[in-house]
Amino acid sequence: MTILVTGGAGFIGSNFVHAWLAAQAEVLVNLDKLTYAGNLRNLHALAGDDRHFFVQGDIGDTTLVSQLLATHQPRAVLHFAAESHVDRSIHGPMDFIQTNVVGTFHLLESVRAYWSGLGGTAQQAFRFLHVSTDEVFGSLAADAPAFSETHAYEPNSPYSASKAASDHLVRAWHHTYGLPVLTTHCSNNYGPYHFPEKLIPLVIHHALAGKPLPIYGDGMQVRDWLYVQDHCKALMRVLQAGRLGETYNIGGWNEKPNIEVVRTLCRLLDELQPRSDGQAYANQITFVKDRAGHDRRYAIDARKIEQELGWRPEESFESGLRKTVQWYLAHSEWVKEVTSGSYRNWIGQNYGS
């Protein structure tokens, strides 16, 4: 048996690849375009594992995707591949439309053609799992109930709009063509292999480098934080037992303001790798102009996946964050490699000099 994963060299995708191969005997075909956030070093530990078959390529390349499907005959496709950073989508939305909307369309068409040609049992067992985000639901007021699976879509950034569009395509291919799909909406992930443009790895990287820790606005934007390996376990459970055509919210039950996250990171770094001058890392916190259209609060109601599929996160925010900091401290070479000149240029462009 085989599964096909798109975007399996990125942050969540590579964590899923590691989790899958640690738990399953099945072959995993990993298709990744290797844009700036896709990194083969994320998969270095799998060198020599004949269950992992990596292919560099674009989900929009229908010839390549069709060949992979015909050759490997996967029983499932898990779709992680996406442009995913809100800030980058504000500066350059075209890549997000091309990958998240057009790319997902081409992938769905390739998968539909493959699925349509399968025999009875194989066709019935096939699944397409689309990994999406809670950002498609927009922003919540401080006292509003958390996002449920039936919450209205209200995307506010080019990124979230492009992911909402991909969700709608997946839903339409199920209802129109019968493609057996599952969709998940996750909250903010954190953990190993996270590219340091996102809040937690950026703060760790900048703190250790003695740089300012840029905090948008007043830092009171609230997010629900989910340890990435908990997310991977949830996805495996949804693939195993999720109901066709259904969506499942995956959250960490950890709502935290950004400034609290940053201060907690600073305290952990004070403990695990103190500054040479004895000062607190929190002294590096710097407030910068808020980004355009910044959503104030996200929160996930993850009761459905717990009640139907028995999944609940294992890590607390405190335990997951400690593991994350320890991973980055132990993998300084990985961080050094991914924070290239182009990364530094991006930080300057986005946060100012």
Question: Which residue numbers are catalytic?
Answer: 134-135, 159
Both tokens of 116, joined, read 């349509």
C-alpha distances in Å from residue 24, one per residue of 14, 16, 92? 15, 12, 39
253: left (phi over 0), alpha (psi -120 to 50) or beta: left
Asked if 6 contacts 74 with a C-beta cutoff of 8 angstroms, the reply is: no
Give the helix, strand, coil percentages of the chain, each rounded to 5. 50, 15, 35
Which residues are within 8 A (CB) of 78 and not within 5 positions of it... i.e. 6 or more apart? 3, 4, 5, 6, 16, 129, 131, 235, 239
Calpha distance 215→198 (Å, rounded):
12
Q: State the DSSP string of 219-261.
A: S--EEEEEEHHHHHHHHHHHHHHPPTT-EEEE--S-EEEHHHH
| Separation CA 315–CA 302 (nearest Å) | 15
Pairing of strands 222-227, 255-257: antiparallel
| Residue 276 φ/ψ, nearest 5 degrees | -65, -25
